A and B are shown apart, each in its own frame.
Chain A
Amino acid sequence: MYVSIESKQILKGVNLTVKQGEIHAVMGPNGSGKSTLANTLMGHPKYKVNSGDILVNGESIVGLTPDVRAKKGLFLAFQYPLEISGVPLAQFLRSAYRSVKGETQQKDAKGVGGEMISALAFKKKLEEKLKEVDLDPSFTKRYLNEGFSGGEKKRAEILQLAVLQPAIAIMDETDSGLDIDAVRKVAEVVSRMAGPEMGVLLITHYQRILQYVRPQFVHIMVDGRIFQSGGPELAQKLEEKGYEWIEQETPAAA
């Protein structure tokens, strides 16, 4: 896949396949195109796919809007979650839940739909998930990300992930800005969810989170390309040698 932003080429040939049940880590230095990859997969309008394709279950999603991609099972945990004033977290999540689960408020002419999750059942579900990500129940009434600390925003992203239960979760530097306890907590939730129902594409700068979320596949991204792919040992190598090791091996990228 080749992707540009405002005609600047960022991704220069990325090939990846993530299946449900798999955890992939994409690691790379700053500016290597990791976040571009995440945003492109989710369909940010600023990023243009010049060539190549994004397939979900064999169907192309290039050209589809982010909401349609979400309904097809994609989820992006944002590196910098946006603040939406006046929209309580619980209300937002319930709308999102209904949207991705395809629930409609009213039955259509054929009598389909209408099986909305009750407010009470949803509240219970939400409270459970809040506990898992270690957020106080009062967060449900707070406006979406408004006034949240950096760490709270990241945990709220994981909360959304846990509620929406996507097929593929893309996590864009979820670990940055979190202290070690929070990283562990977040990793626990993600590890528990990753299974036959969910695949994970974990984008990170640091090896730290990989101690808790154990990926089967590690990809190193440099200058818009996958430089090397391998197993967990690759992350270990990166930890020991640092990104300088790559720069030595690929002078062009330096």
Chain B
Amino acid sequence: MATKQVVDIDYTKYNFRDSDEGYEYKFPKGLTKEVVERISKIKKEPEWMRDFRLRSYDHFMKRPLPMWGGDLTHLQFNDMLYYASPTEKKSRSWEDVPPYIKDTFDKLGIPEAERKFLGGVGAQYESEVVYHSLREDLAKKGVLFTDTDTALREYPEIFRKHFATVVPLEDNKFAALNSAVWSGGSFIYIPEGVSVDVPLQAYFRINTANMGQFERTLIIADKNSRVHYIEGCTAPIYSTESLHSAVVEIIAKPGAHVRYTTIQNWSNDVYNLVTKRAYAYADATVEWVDGNLGSKLTMKYPSIYLLGPRAKGEILSVAFAGKNQHQDAGGKVVHMAPYTTSRITSKSISKDGGRTTYRGLLHVAKGATGVKSTVRCDALLMDEISRTDTYPYNEINADDATITHEATVGKIGEDQLFYLMSRGLSEQEALSMIVMGFMEPFTKELPMEYAIELNRLIQLEMAGSVG
């Protein structure tokens, strides 16, 4: 039977866990000022960073939970682990990574991917980055790709000049939380005029139950440089909640081109609350390609501030919500300068009572003439019990802006299924094909290996959808 090729994928690939007994550090649960100080101390950070963390902690404590978006009432901050480190050392050679962690990333296919098509790889396990490498020729050109803690130590000037300038600690409650307890993440600096032709990649893995992962990523693309950064995330399945709250900052200086691709496949007990923001200066381009599968609740709205003339922003996202899942995602573009253009494309799929929300903001500042923007959201409902909502907000303060907004909600028709099945495809194959076709505008932007992986994950999510 041809259905075999659909169900032949082994989801347990992601659902395994390692023992955390031999960890170098594993903090008690809960967040206190002492926890924040201890993280800073372990990392031997300069005073300014410790102060920054403590100010962030204060802000986090007094900032109320957002009243909009997904349901956060069950999120127990005091049940979370805020720091855990399996090993003190970071390895530059794959051989030096502790065997059980190596095994984890082997299972996830990371070293293989590196050999095949990547210019550099970082792998983060719990709070700390355990492995990092960068292709030699890129290093020679002055490209920096390291974990964020190392960057703070080794490149203090460039780090401090840019850190938290795009997402200030007061931005929102979760940005404040990340600012207080951040650990790991990627730091990338591309020098002026340097074009990195192969993607740089990082992989994040939560292993322990109730673990919070708070990586902090900072990408600085100097004038007329070019880079594509890819990130993947997974966690095993626990019955209690974990929290992923990252902050990503991108600075694209004049003429630079930055693409950031994420495929997140969290297990369905993870709260995924992420702040991602980019500044694009004159003639720069920033592209967020953002795929969200899994998690209990995702709240994520990648944003782009178009600060210089002719800057371009593109947000392309796809969200898949299954049973007991809520994907509250979208995008935000702020046009601050004339002749800036943007495009937001959002695709969502809801199934088995899952819920997707598109939440978008389009802002055109006064004086930003000649702005063009296109927003398109397409939702696909797989059954009667699933739900989708669209909340587009437009604040247009320029008379000559060209704005188009299109939203569609679709269901898979009986006739479409009949048509595909009449060609020999099983109901499940036909459903998968329609869903993958629906996501094609997204998938075609991914490197091939990721497109294949994403299609597999979708087929997996679709498996069992036929009674």
Q: Which chain A residues have a beta carbon within 8 Å of chain B's beta carbons?
A: 39, 42-46, 65-67, 69-71, 74-76, 78, 81-82, 84-87, 92, 95-96, 98-100, 102-106, 143-144, 160, 164
Contacts and interface: CB of A to CB of B under 8 A. Distances in A.
B436 interface: yes
Interface in B396-415: 413-415
B433 A84 contact: yes
Indicate the member of B1, B425, B436, B438 with the most A CB atoms within 10 Å.
B425
12 contacts: A67-B421, A67-B422, A67-B424, A84-B419, A84-B434, A87-B434, A99-B2, A99-B429, A100-B423, A104-B1, A105-B8, A164-B423
Residue from A71, A75, A85, A100 whose CB has the most chain B CB atoms within 10 Å: A85
Nearest to A104: B4
If over half of B's interface residues share one DSSP class (helix, strand or loop), that class is named, otherwise mixed; here it is: helix
B10 to A, nearest CB: 13
B232 interface: no
A8 B47 CA distance: 81
B441 interface: yes
Interface residues of B, number: 29
B426 A67 contact: yes
Contacts of B421: 43, 65-67, 70
B436 A86 contact: yes
Nearest to B420: A84
Given A67-B426, A87-B437, A81 B419 contact: yes
Nearest to B441: A86
Interface string B421-448: 1111111011001101111110000000
A44 B440 CA distance: 27
A84 B438 CA distance: 9
Q: Of residues A82, A100, A103, which shows the largest number of chain B Cβ atoms within 10 Å of its Cβ?
A: A82
Contacts of B430: 67
A42 B422 contact: yes
Given A67-B425, A106-B5, 4 more contacts: A43-B418, A70-B422, A84-B416, A84-B434
Contacts of A84: 416, 419-420, 433-434, 437
A76 B437 contact: no
A82 B8 contact: no
Contact of A96 (B424, B439, B440): B424
Contacts of A96: 423-425
B416 A99 contact: no
